[in-house]
Structures are given as C-alpha cells and as structure tokens.
Chains A and B, each alone.
Chain A
Amino acid sequence: MTSELPGSPVLKVEGVSLAFGGVRALSKVSLEAAEGTITAIIGPNGAGKTSLFNAISGFYRPAEGRILFEGRDISRLRPPARAKLGLARTFQNIALFRGMTVLDNIKLGRHAHLRTNVLDALFYWGRAQREELALRQEIEERIIDFLEIQHIRRAPVGALPYGLQKRVELARALAMRPKILMLDEPVAGMNREETEDMARFILDVKEEWGVTILMVEHDMGMVMDISDHVIVLNFGQVIAQGRPAEVQRDPAVVSAYLGSGDVGELSRRLHARQAA
C-alpha cells in the first residue's frame, strides 16, 4: 500500500541487506525519501532502524543493495564523502565533541566545507579569517537564533541538560548545510514541552530551509503529527509504508506493535516479558 509521493526522491535505498555474523539486521530494504518531505522510520526495538541509518550515512557497508543520493550511487563512499555531499545526521546517543563549547561544536559542522588550507589556518591570515567571520555570522544569525540557543553559546556542551544537547546536535547538523537531515530519535527522553519545541524546529527546517528529513522516532504522537510519509520496519524488513493515517490502520503494523489482537498471544507475550 504505497501512496504516491510528492516531489522526486532525493534519497533512494534499493534492496539493502546487512548482516552481523548470522544476524540479519536488514534484508532487502527499499525506500525513498521525497524532496522537501519528512519521512519517518518506525518499528519496534531491534527492527533495524538505526542499522538502516548507519548504512545510509556510510558507517556500515551493506552486503547487497544500493543507496542513491540525487540519482548518484553513493554505496561505496565513506562517511566523510557522504557528509560533503549533504548528508547530515544526529545520533541516538548524543554524539557531541566533549570539552568544546556549543559554538565550537556547531562550527565543526562546517569543517568539511571550509576551503582554507593548513598554512592559512595556522597563521589565521586572509582567507582563514574572512571564512571564519562569515561562518560565525551565518551560524549566529541563522542557526543559533533559529534554535533559540543564544544563551548557551559559550557553555561547554558536557554541562548542558539532555534536551539542549540534542538541540546542539541538530544545530551542528544544520551547520553542514545538509540536503538530507537524518535524525535518530530526536525527541527520545524529552518531556512534553521539549518534544513540542523539537517538533516545531523540525517542521521549520523542512519548510524554511527546504531540507529533506529522514527520522527514526518512537514518539508516535509526534511521528503522526509531522511526517509526510511513514515507513515501518520489523525484523529488518519494510512491513508497511504510506501516509501516517494509512499506516496507523495497517493490520501488519498493529500486530507488530501491539500483538495480533488474539488474547491468547497477548497473554503469552506478557508471560514471556515477565519471565525475562
């Protein structure tokens, strides 16, 4: 039950399989993310969502299948090359540069795009200084103001509360001027208010910046509210996809999340969980 996608696909995953030893993390996963949309990947724990993310950003190399970005096969590129093409991501367990300030963390997002060579940068001359100033201005005006983190610019990231760290990670990804922004559980562990803020930022990134967003998330309320397209993974396979409302009604999805509705099976599952 595939619904027609608005816009052309920026990212295309074709029949990607990935195995760790005997465990098949992904088997023949295919999906598309249309330009300027929010695509959510959902599924129970261990369904392969993060593995899929890692395959798309190049941390894992799939055993088979292809990953196309703007029509170009990027399956063989390493993560830094993919980052330069415009794939930015955040991590499920926050990955920030500890010991640096918020501003330095965000500026590092642009590291790969700077053209300054070592000698310029070493002496902080000419081009290095101009680039640095332009970069700082852009980051201050567009990213820091946008994400409402002016007050913590100079703070070391390690000292920040969890919700703000997530926001800094998003800021760093935005500094990469991404074409595709991949968010791995952007609101995990957040309270209602923080979740609403983050949902608003994600929608704004899509609408004001025109960035295509691919997101793994467990918060169903948020997924159903802001996504244009939802893909459901279970046991490393795509079991359903479509508009949020369609997916919610899909019997395969209901079964993957809640069990089959068969009372006997539900009670067996509960016992299994209690035993574990």
Chain B
Amino acid sequence: MTDWLFLAEVCLAGIGAGALYALTGVAFVLIYKATRVVNLAIGEILMLGGYAFLGFAAGWGLPAWAALPLAVLCGGLFGAVVERTLIRPMLGESPISVFMVTVGLGSMLVGAVELGWGADPLRLPEFVPNRPVFIGEAYLAPKVAYGFVAASLVIAAFVLAFRFSRSGVALRATAGDQGAAYSVGIDVPRVFSLAWTAACATAAGAGVLVGSIGGISPTMGVFGLSVLVVVIVGGLDSIMGALVGGLLVGLIEALAGAFLGGEYKLLATFGLLILILMLRPYGLFGTHEIERL
C-alpha cells in the first residue's frame, strides 16, 4: 500500500529544493546566454553568498533583513569584478580556456573561505519563521516553503525583465548575434557586465536560502554540480529549461532519497543526466547548435 501523504510530502520537499536549483540554474543560464561562458564557479559564488550573509549577520550583528540584501549586493559586486578582470580579457579565447578560468576561480573561492572561516560546517543565524507550513495535510519544512516562495518571486521577476525590459531585450539580442547587437547600438560589453552582476547576485541570494536550510561549508559548492545537471537537462541557454530542469532534479533527488536511500540521490540525478544526454543532447529546451565542451 502506498502512503499517499508521505509521497505528497516528499514531492513538496523536492519541489521546494528544486526551486533553489532553478534559481541557481537561471543565474547560470543568464551568464551562458549573454556571454557563452560556462561558469563552473556558480556553486562557489553561491557559497560566497552564504558566507557573506554569515559575516554580516553574525560577524557584524546586523539583522537578517539588512544582511540578506548586503549579501546579494556582495555577490553582484563580485560578479562585476570577475567579469571585468578575469572574463573580459579572455574574450576571443577558446571556450575551454574561459571554462578553466571559472574552474580555477571556484577553487580559489573555496580556499579563501577556508582561510577566513575554517573548513567546518557552520549554521546561519535563524531568520525564517519557524511555524510549520501545511499544504492540505502535507507538512512542509518552513525554510523550504519560504525558500520556494522567494525563489519563485525572483524567477518571475527575471522572466518579466527578460521579456519586457530594455536590458532584457538587449540581452536576448546579444544572445542571438553579438555582431548584430553591437551594430544596432547595443553596448555588448555592458550587457556582459550586467549579466555577470545579475547572475552572481542571484547565486549569492540562493546561497543564503540554501545555507539557511542545510548550513554552510566550503564544500557547499557541490550544489553547483547538481545545478550543472539542471541546466544541461533544461538546455544551457533556456531560462524555461532551468525552471523545468530545476524542479525535475529537485523532485527526483527527493524521491530517490526517500524511497531508495540518501546515497542514491546523486545516482538518480546523474542517471537523469545520462538519459537526457542520450535522448536530447541540447537539453529539453535548449538551442540545437550548442558547441560541446
């Protein structure tokens, strides 16, 4: 006999976690779409957001409502600096070289965080209301629920901005053809900078949400590995793909964790990855002609 309530709770938890994958996936896609850079450091930038929040909230004793925007701001600033100093000089180099720069950036961030805060996992100060959330009869951990709501709002804002704002249109045009965008008066380098800033700010925000659920540690960047699966499943250059892929991966991880055991989580995720790569190498919603790395 199936326990329907338990299944519903597992699914809810999966969707809740999936929203955070989707949010980080959107950050990844934003950078890829605008600049064609595969940013493997996205997980580490997410981690940086968590530690920045810890620094502001615990270190400086700021309240959460001030520490969260500051952490997001830090992420954005970091993204802008990285784009200007590490990525833009690599313009025109082979994609593999730029990709390796982001891998190196990730390791440097892990090292820097270990130097600053040590290698042990830390808990973020509590800032999410603790009252249990019930949807129908199903229980949902409040942090997961609030994380889901926050992620959904940010993603919705992104989708609207992408569709209607001038920056969004400029970004889509740049994604379509850089030379053409440049020639019709779109400031392509500024679009690059904007994409990195917005994406890293988003990742940092996601880091605070992820950290509030599971705590933070220098190895928290492996979250980025699941996000990589998310965007490959959804299609590297599709916001819609990041959304669907995020929810799918969250759901599958939760189901595998609940019914097969925690050690099967990653197995299920990467099983999905292999399946998608065999059936649709460009992802569920991706553009067909994406160069392989």
Known: A111-B169, A122-B160, A124-B164. A88 touches B183 (CB 8 A): yes
**A234 within 8 Å of B by Cβ?**
no
**B126 within 8 Å of A by Cβ?**
no
Interface contacts beyond A97-B173, A108-B186, A122-B161: sample of 11 additional A-B pairs, CB < 8 Å, sorted by A: A78-B187, A80-B182, A88-B184, A91-B179, A97-B181, A98-B287, A99-B172, A99-B287, A108-B181, A114-B166, A176-B184
Q: Which of A63-108 contact B (CB under 8 A)?
A: 78-80, 83-84, 88-89, 91, 95-100, 108
26 interchain pairs, CB-CB under 8 A: A57-B183, A79-B185, A80-B185, A80-B186, A80-B188, A83-B184, A89-B183, A95-B177, A97-B172, A97-B176, A97-B180, A98-B177, A100-B173, A100-B176, A108-B184, A109-B184, A111-B170, A111-B173, A111-B184, A112-B185, A112-B186, A118-B166, A121-B166, A122-B165, A124-B164, A172-B180
Note all chain B residues with C-beta closer than 8 A to A109: 184
Q: Which listed residue (B179, B185, B187) contacts A59, Cβ 8 A?
A: B179
**B152 within 8 Å of A by Cβ?**
no
Known: A121-B166, A124-B164. A111 touches B186 (CB 8 A): yes
Note all chain B residues with C-beta closer than 8 A to A118: 165-167
Q: Closest chain B residue to A116 by CB distance?
A: B166
Identify which of B160, B164, B180, B183 gathers the most chain A CB atoms within 10 Å of its CB. Answer: B183
Note all chain B residues with C-beta closer than 8 A to A111: 166, 169-170, 173, 184-186
A48 to B181, CA, bound (A): 23
- Asked if B176 contacts A84 (CB within 8 A), the reply is no
- Asked if B180 contacts A96 (CB within 8 A), the reply is yes
Note all chain B residues with C-beta closer than 8 A to A91: 179-180, 183
- Residues of chain A having any CB pair with chain B under 8 Å: 57, 59, 78-80, 83-84, 88-89, 91, 95-100, 108-109, 111-114, 116-118, 121-122, 124, 172, 176
- Asked if B177 contacts A59 (CB within 8 A), the reply is no
Identify which of B161, B181, B184, B187 gathers the most chain A CB atoms within 10 Å of its CB. Answer: B184
Note all chain B residues with C-beta closer than 8 A to A83: 183-185
Identify which of B173, B180, B187 gathers the most chain A CB atoms within 10 Å of its CB. Answer: B180
Note all chain B residues with C-beta closer than 8 A to A114: 166
Work out how many contacts link A and B, with CB atoms closer than 8 A: 79
Note all chain A residues with C-beta closer than 8 A to B181: 97, 108
Note all chain B residues with C-beta closer than 8 A to A95: 177, 179-180, 183
A89 to B187, CA, bound (A): 16
Q: Closest chain A residue to B289 by CB distance?
A: A98
Note all chain A residues with C-beta closer than 8 A to B177: 95-98
Known: A108-B173, A111-B169, A121-B164. A176 touches B185 (CB 8 A): yes
Q: Which of B263-293 contact A (CB under 8 A)?
A: 287
A98 to B164, CA, bound (A): 18
Q: Closest Cβ of chain B: how far from A124's Cβ, in Å?
A: 6
A165 to B150, CA, bound (A): 43
Q: Closest chain A residue to B177 by CB distance?
A: A95
A118 to B188, CA, bound (A): 17
Q: Closest chain A residue to B179 by CB distance?
A: A95
Q: Closest Cβ of chain A: how far from B283's Cβ, in Å?
A: 15
A124 to B167, CA, bound (A): 14
Note all chain A residues with C-beta closer than 8 A to B188: 80
Note all chain A residues with C-beta closer than 8 A to B182: 59, 79-80
Q: Closest Cβ of chain A: how far from B148's Cβ, in Å?
A: 24
Q: Closest Cβ of chain A: how far from B172's Cβ, in Å?
A: 7
Note all chain A residues with C-beta closer than 8 A to B169: 108, 111
Q: Closest Cβ of chain A: how far from B264's Cβ, in Å?
A: 38
Q: Closest Cβ of chain B: how far from A270's Cβ, in Å?
A: 36
Q: Closest Cβ of chain B: how far from A15's Cβ, in Å?
A: 24
